[in-house]
Amino acid sequence: MLLAYVHGGITGGQVSYSFDSNTPATFASTGGTDFAVGYQVGAGLETKVSENISLGFEYGYTNLGEGDFNTRLTSGLFVVANPDGTDARGSDRSMDFHTIKGTLKFHF
């Protein structure tokens, strides 16, 4: 017998970022951490292979929202353009990921 299911819920996690640069135009090393809350959804299949053992496959999508981390570049050409420095952001600030897992379960 094959069991098909969907799952979902609220999830959270510690996220961190870092930025390092030592080019002639600038030198910066910065980072940060934050706790993000989001959601997870997915689906799976599971089948019994014996009285006490089942095998399964599961897909999950997790989204922890958008990151709001910035890096301030305060040396080299960035100071010429703005004495306070220039803020830089990553090109993809979305904190989401996909997971695929296989399961082997023993049922008591």
Question: What confidence tens digit (pLDDT) does each residue in 62-77 have?
Answer: 998 876 666 666 666 6
* Kind plus residue range of the DSSP H or E element containing 22: none
Structure tokens at 85: 């420095």
pLDDT at 65: 84
Using a 10 angstrom Cβ sphere, with 0-12 exposed, 13-18 middle and 19 or more buried, the burial of residue 51 is exposed
17-38 pLDDT, tens digit per residue, is: 766 666 665 555 566 777 889 9
Nearest-CA neighbor of 23 among 83, 82, 91, 88? Answer: 88
What pLDDT, on the 0 to 100 scale, is given for residue 34? 78
Lowest-pLDDT range, 9-13, 33-37, 46-50, 100-104? 33-37
Q: Which of 35, 38, 42, 69 is nearest to 57 (CA)?
A: 42
Q: Which two tokens stand for residue 42?
A: 């997915």
51 vs 66, residue with greater confidence? 51
Contacts of 14-18 with CB under 8 Å at 24 or more apart are 15/64, 15/67, 15/95, 17/67, 17/69, 17/90
What pLDDT is attached to residue 104?
A: 96
